[in-house]
Amino acid sequence: MGLIRNSAILALVSTMLVPLSPGGQSSALAQAEPASQQQQQRPNVLVWMMDDVGFAQLSSFGGLVDTPNIDRVARMGLRYENYRTAPMCSPARASFLTGRMPHTVHMGGHALQSFPYPGYDARVPAEAGTIAENLRQAGYATFAVGKWDHFPGPDASPVGPFTYWPLGQGFERFYGFLAADTDNFHPTLVRDNQPIAAPHDPDYHLSADMADQAISMIRTRDATPAGKRPFFLYWATGAAHAPHHAPQAWIDRYKGRFDMGWDKARQQILRQQLAAGVVPKGTKLAPRPDAMPAWDSLSAKQKQLYSRQMEAFAASLSYADAQFGRVLDELDARGELDNTIIIVVSDNGASAEGGPNGALTEAYIGNETPVSFDDNYAFLDDWGGPRTHPHYSLGWAIAGNTPNRYFKQTAHDGGIHVPLIVAWPKGIAAHGEARRQFVHVSDIAPTLLDLTGVTPASFVNDVRQSPMEGRSFRLTLDSAGTLRDGRAQYSELWGNKSLWEGGWTIVTSHRMQTWEAAQNAGQPFDEPWELYDVASDPGQTTDLAAKYPDRVAAMSKEWQQQAERHNVLPQHNVGENTPELARQFMQMMQFMKGKWSYSNPVTNVPFVLAPPVNFLPFTVTSKLVLPEGQANGPVFAYGGQLPGMGLYLEDSKPVFLFNAINGQKYRIAAQDALPAGASEITVKLSRGKLDATNRADWTITISANGKQVAQDVIHIEMPRMMGISATFEVGNDMGDPVLEGYPAGRPINAKIDNVTFDFLAR
């Protein structure tokens, strides 16, 4: 048998040992060399998809945040000053990657608020293959690092299905998180299709980790003996979406830099924009929205807190910029920077979702009770660090969108008019110039195919592809153009809608208080069109609808035609109770009120698939086998520090933990350790009557092996959300641990036989 096996191996090796060509290479490699050379001539593609970065937050666009590495790209490339996107992350990213309109690819709203209509069900159709898949079929190595949230929420489960995950959408490697955001100090991470724990490092920050992973992926191409494949790297940081996390040393760099307040900051930014030619002469600031107070009207404590909020945001973006610089330096050292197309872009405008006060945790966005100033102020010294999960006040979003009006989620320019920088040292002759033609998010994918010389794939996974709806803007690389150049383009999100055409916009104001989860739900979409000449009035300060009714009528007709063509209709808003959604809700409630049983550890279960422990009273029964010695670790955990709940063993003692949304911590613990061997632990949560502050008395009773071992009553508001990126786990706690100081990702050292949540028992 050994001789037969060795003969087979020798036969296999002999097929690889082809005669050497005169140049010293095998003839097989020599024959492949022309194709390899052609591949190497194709440019690499590096995309930095920033998150919630407004038009005026980069220093190259007149902003007050230091972004020297983005400035470096702007100097060797082009700054696009008339670029528009979708008003929110999921639609913008789906459009960016597919080259189609957001509603065409079923992503008219955020993926977590899907709606049972083609434009909104969050399922990118198979005929809309991504730029990654197109480039992969042309021989590119395709890497995705960072945020991925434009897919159905239930599919974020670690058991899939993986159709809409990065590896199912044309990427060969993925490292990142499957949510709108994640904790930058304790992220919930996935590598390829598997959940993993973040590295145990006291200095860990996700932005630096993402740069490490990107550099590692780029270097893996060195293993190819016949020449390196060109790569497409989609680097999608959480920065500068909330939580605005940064190392303390970076927050300290900005100490006092924003004490002038948002009003003077807007004026300073506008002066810098005018001086740099980022906006046309005569530009005026958009009016302050009603919810944004004048800075001079604030108390000293308010100014202190809000200044710190902006310091944390700026540090978060600057720190990410420094990590981006490391990726650029790697390419430069490898001699690959000159032949790399670099795209720096934001998914949408700056976010006002923190509301007037900002928020110590973004979980407040979906909560019944808004965050109080005092709760925020209690975390002043920790703002931006691992004890918070913060978002800044809406005043800084307005400043970050200078001179544009409003913010993310709106169809005004504050929501959709954002920075775009394009560089390719080897392929673009112009350096450090501006471009003023209209460009849309859907245009980037076809432009990249055009620049790389890749013909769009006719089939992806045996499915014939639909044409990309975006248009290549390659011709703009050599022409500055004007602010009136470009096609008519619609925008829509949750009832807010607009159309850009020839430097003019029509726009409606349906859902403007974006920090309220269901604002204006159920109201008709009958707001009148506003009309602005944004080529001369970027701040949308003067409504010209009454003066030019014919223009409004013609543009309204164009919006309607595009809406019908791209699945925009019927429009809907978050929180609306349509018959379809009512039916879905009733089915969900029936599903929730049963028993949820887990016979082994599970990790990274998204909140849409988690047992409803924050909605209903329940009893959880855990059957465990404890080891000799002490048992430690989570029996179950949901959420983290702000907020979260969980059952742990500490030195074999059952401990129930509840971390309130305002930072208060509650602990109910047994006094005696459980013996080694089989044990049954029961925790019962009973709810009293709600008071006027949405709080209730919750009685927590812990029993072990049929005997009550602890009980307490806590007066709390149960949060509607444990956090956008909150996950539920049995036997582990992978993200931000519910037990403060517990090592994330360290499983319980007891055997789990069964954990059952019962929402019927009372």
What tens digit of pLDDT does each residue of 671-720 get? Answer: 999 999 999 999 999 999 999 989 999 999 999 999 999 999 999 999 98
Q: Give every strand in the sheet of 420-423, ordered side by side.
A: 194-196, 189-191, 173-177, 141-147, 231-236, 44-50, 340-346, 420-423, 77-80, 433-435
The answer on pLDDT for 13 being more than 80 is no
Which tokens sit at 469?
């709806």
* pLDDT for position 228: 86
- H/E stretch holding 271: helix 261-276
Is the domain of 471 the same as that of 518? Answer: no
The answer on pLDDT for 762 being more than 60 is no
Mean pLDDT over residues 358-377, rounded?
92
Q: For residue 291, what are the contacts with CB-CB under 8 A and spacing of at least 6?
A: 355, 356, 394, 513
Contact 191, 5 (CB under 8 A): no
At 50, which CATH number? 3.40.720.10
Amino acid at 653: K
At residue 659, the 3 state secondary structure works out as: strand
Contact 235, 218 (CB under 8 A): no
Mean pLDDT over residues 475-486, rounded?
96
Examine residue 66 and state whether it is found in any structural domain, yes or no: yes
> DSSP string covering 105-121, please?
TT-SS-GGG--SSTTTS
* pLDDT for position 575: 77
Prior bond of 743 cis (ω within 30°): no
- Percentage of the chain exceeding pLDDT 70: 92
Of 565, 600, 622, the domain-final residue = 565
Half-sphere exposure of 347 (CA within 13 A, CB side): 31
Amino acid at 248: Q
Is the domain of 241 the same as that of 124? Answer: yes
Residue found by looking up tokens 């850009």 in the block = 500
Examine residue 39 and state whether it is found in any structural domain, yes or no: no
The answer on pLDDT for 644 being more than 80 is yes
Examine residue 5 and state whether it is found in any structural domain, yes or no: no
Angle, in degrees to the nearest 10, between helices 300-333 and 261-276: 40
Examine residue 483 and state whether it is found in any structural domain, yes or no: no
The answer on pLDDT for 748 being more than 70 is yes
User: SS3 sequence, 142-174?
Assistant: EEEEEECCCCCHHHHCCCCCCCCCHHHCCCCEE
At 559, which CATH number? 3.30.1120.10
Which tokens sit at 267?
């004026």
Is the domain of 246 the same as that of 380? Answer: yes
How would residue 724 be classed by pLDDT, with cut points 50, 70 and 90? confident
The answer on pLDDT for 20 being more than 70 is no
Alpha-carbon dihedral of residues 744, 748, 752, 754, nearest 10 degrees? -50
Which tokens sit at 252?
């300290």
Contact 440, 84 (CB under 8 A): yes
Which tokens sit at 340?
């790399």
Q: Quote the CA–CA distance of 212 and 201 in Å, as a whole number.
A: 14
For residue 639, what are the domain limits?
A: 588-758
Examine residue 402 and state whether it is found in any structural domain, yes or no: yes
Is the domain of 198 the same as that of 340? Answer: yes
How many helices (H) and strands (E) would you count in the chain?
A: 15, 30
Q: Is 689 exposed, middle or buried (0-12, 13-18, 19+ CB in 10 A)?
A: exposed
Q: For residue 83, what are the contacts with CB-CB under 8 A and spacing of at least 6?
A: 345, 417, 418, 419, 420, 438, 439, 440, 441
Of 442, 458, 478, the domain-final residue = 478
Task: Choose the weakest-confidence range: 102-106, 223-227, 386-390, 509-513.
Answer: 223-227
Contact 382, 478 (CB under 8 A): no
Q: Is 445 exposed, middle or buried (0-12, 13-18, 19+ CB in 10 A)?
A: buried
Q: What is the mean pLDDT of the chain?
A: 92
* pLDDT for position 27: 28
Of 456, 478, 500, the domain-final residue = 478
Is the domain of 224 the same as that of 292? Answer: yes
Q: Residue-wise over 235-258: b if at least 16 C-beta within 10 A, else e?
A: bbbbbbbbbbbbbeebbebbeebb
How would residue 608 be classed by pLDDT, with cut points 50, 70 and 90? confident
Contact 292, 395 (CB under 8 A): yes
Q: Quote the CA–CA distance of 352 and 312 in Å, as a whole number.
A: 15
Which tokens sit at 76?
């060797």
User: SS3 sequence, 660-713?
Assistant: CCCCCEEEEECCCCCCCEEEEEEEEEEECCCCCCCCEEEEEEEEECCEEEEEEE
Is the domain of 511 the same as that of 469? Answer: no
Is the domain of 730 the same as that of 614? Answer: yes
Residues counted in the chain? 762
Examine residue 26 and state whether it is found in any structural domain, yes or no: no
Examine residue 436 and state whether it is found in any structural domain, yes or no: yes
Q: For residue 552, what are the contacts with CB-CB under 8 A and spacing of at least 6?
A: 506, 529, 531, 545
Is the domain of 534 the same as that of 596? Answer: no
Structural domains of the chain, count: 3
SS3 percent helix, strand, coil of the chain, rounded to 5, is 30, 20, 50
- Cα-flanking dihedrals φ and ψ of residue 208, to 5°? -70, -40
Is the domain of 206 the same as that of 288? Answer: yes
Mean pLDDT over residues 575-604, rounded?
75
Is the domain of 52 the same as that of 185? Answer: yes
Mean pLDDT over residues 219-232, rounded?
88
Q: Quote the CA–CA distance of 707 and 689 in Å, as a whole number.
A: 27
Is the domain of 108 the same as that of 252? Answer: yes
The terminus-to-terminus CA distance of the chain in angstroms comes to 67
Q: For residue 554, what are the contacts with CB-CB under 8 A and spacing of at least 6?
A: none
Q: For residue 68, what are the contacts with CB-CB under 8 A and spacing of at least 6?
A: 59, 321, 325
Is the domain of 408 the same as that of 499? Answer: no
Query: Pairing state of beta strands 618-626 and 677-687?
Result: antiparallel
Which tokens sit at 57?
């937050």
Examine residue 100 and state whether it is found in any structural domain, yes or no: yes
Which tokens sit at 150?
């434009």
Mean pLDDT over residues 474-495, rounded?
97
